[in-house]
């Protein structure tokens, strides 16, 4: 994906990003603001959001998630678009889930990348075939992928 728009009408918020044009967010009635991922570069200071424990378990990664959760500063389970937009805005540093389809994450990816983040599958692939997504601020990505590999 090279462009994406993510809307949360109940929150009166919208985010968008496109290759080479940056990532933006807007609260209803306010001016758009450019957004950026965090500069956190140590897992001990990072916030991790995961969707739900059942799918991590179903895909054989629950033990890896628990091990990673012991290395980060805090964990939350916001889920769905909210985790990824908090990541793009720099409020959290790592988000991931399993059992995702291309249509679940296609719009999120350009926003995260243009905000300075990185998005892959749990194995590090950029293919949608693996049904997983790991998004980070970029600085933590390789370390997170390593932790999830066991």
Give the Å distances, CA to CA, from 14 to 48, 50, 74, 82, 122: 22, 22, 26, 11, 27
pLDDT for 79: 77
pLDDT for 41: 98
d(CA 72, CA 88): 18
Quote the pTM value.
0.95
pLDDT for 55: 95
The structure tokens 């059942």 sit at 54
pLDDT for 5: 98
Averaged pLDDT in 10-residue chunks for the chain of 150 residues: 96 97 97 98 98 94 96 92 97 96 94 98 90 97 95
Could you write out the three-class secondary structure of the chain?
CCEEEEEEHHHCEEEEEECCCEEEEEECCCCCEECCCCCCCCHHHCEEEECCHHHHHHCCCHHHHHHHHHHCCEEECCCHHHHHHHHHCCCCCEEEEECCCHHHHCCHHHHHHHCCCEEECCCCCCCCCCCEEEEECCCCHHHHHHHHHC
């Amino acid at each position: 994906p090279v462009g994406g728009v993510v809307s949360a009408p109940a929150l009166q918020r919208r985010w968008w990003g496109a290759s080479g044009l940056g990532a933006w967010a807007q609260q209803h009635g306010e001016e758009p603001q450019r957004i950026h991922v965090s500069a956190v570069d140590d897992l001990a200071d990072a916030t991790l959001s995961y969707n739900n424990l059942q799918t991590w378990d179903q895909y054989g990664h629950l033990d890896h998630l628990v091990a990673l959760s012991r290395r980060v500063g805090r964990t939350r389970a916001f889920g769905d678009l909210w985790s990824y937009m908090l990541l793009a805005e720099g409020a959290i540093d790592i988000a991931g889930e399993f059992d995702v389809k291309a249509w679940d994450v296609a719009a999120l990816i350009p926003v995260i990348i243009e905000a300075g983040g990185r998005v892959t599958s749990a194995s590090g692939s950029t293919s949608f075939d693996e049904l997983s997504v790991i998004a980070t601020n970029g600085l933590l990505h390789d370390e997170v992928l390593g932790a999830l590999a066991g």
